Amino acid sequence: MSTRDRRLARAERLREWAAKREAKAEAAETATRDLADRIPFGQPILIGHHSEGRARRDADRIRGGLDRAAQDAETARDMNRRAATIEAQAAGSVYDDDPDAIDRLQARIADLEAERDRIKAYNVTARAGAPDLTLLTEREQRALLGALKYTPYASKGGTFPSYHLSGLSGRISTTRARIARLSGGPR
């Protein structure tokens, strides 16, 4: 079984557990509502009456049942969130035991190099005083705006900070090294 298959199987198990927890929460809420519906709305606990003990036990059961239902529903939401995270990671990841790992890694390098070239072209226009945002994708434009907002000292003249290009170059070289390791070539 490949890494991707194991990860997706884990996500599927989490979804199954979440469905069981949702059913458990729904059952607890239904049982609690049935118990609460037997008590007339606004009925106080009659102190000293023979029904006082049962009324207090019922109130405790209602509180406990609703707490259990809320906790089970929260656990189900958490499990569904974890499963969605695993599925999203598996969709964007390249695992070493994937049959097309090298091809996908080479495509990733091509995308990173194209992004680096777009950013370099944008930086040339920004240094010339006429920044051309049409050279960038929406994601790259958001990254530039974030850099200008949070690290204006690193973005001279509205250019991308140097650390952004260094990070891209590092990812490219790391991916090339991974391809070499997977293909059995020199590192």
Q: What is the pLDDT of residues 141-181, one digit of tens each?
A: 999 999 888 888 887 778 898 899 999 999 999 999 999 99
Helices (H) and strands (E) in the chain, counts: 5, 0
- Residues (pLDDT < 70) of the chain are 185-187
What's the total number of domains in the chain? 2
Helix (H) / strand (E) element for 28: namely helix 3-37
| Residue positions counted in the chain | 187
DSSP summary character for residue 1: -
* CA–CA separation, 11 and 122 (whole Å): 41
Residue 132 and residue 61 share a domain: no
Domain shared by 78 and 139, yes or no: no
Question: Cα 5–11–15 angle (5° rounding)?
Answer: 140
Interior angle at CA 94, CA 186 and CA 114, nearest 5: 80
Task: For 86-165, list the strands marked E by DSSP.
Answer: none
Shared-domain flag, residues 108 and 130: yes
Q: Are residues 81 and 137 in the same domain?
A: no
117 and 171, same domain (yes or no) = yes
Residues 61, 139 share a domain? no
Q: Which of 58, 92, 126 is the last residue of a domain?
A: 92
State the residue range of the domain holding 57.
3-92
pLDDT, position 187? 52
Which of 101, 26, 104 minimizes the C-alpha distance to 66? 26
- Cα 155 from Cα 138, distance rounded (Å): 18
Q: Are residues 69 and 127 in the same domain?
A: no
Is residue 56 located within the same domain as residue 86? yes
Distance CA 162, CA 166 (A): 6
Show which of 65, 92, 119 is a domain's final residue.
Answer: 92
The answer to whether 110 touches 137, Cβ cutoff 8 Å, is: no
pLDDT for the residue numbered 46: 75
Same domain (yes/no): 80, 113: no
Task: Answer yes or no: are the C-beta atoms of 55 and 39 closer than 8 Å.
Answer: yes
Q: Which of 92, 125, 152 is the last residue of a domain?
A: 92
pTM over 0.75: no
- Residue 185's pLDDT is 65
Same domain, 156 and 139: yes
Tell whether 112 and 61 lie within a shared domain: no
Clarify whether residues 21 and 85 are in a common domain.
yes
The backbone region for 157, taken as left when phi is positive above 0, alpha when psi lies in -120 to 50, beta otherwise, is left
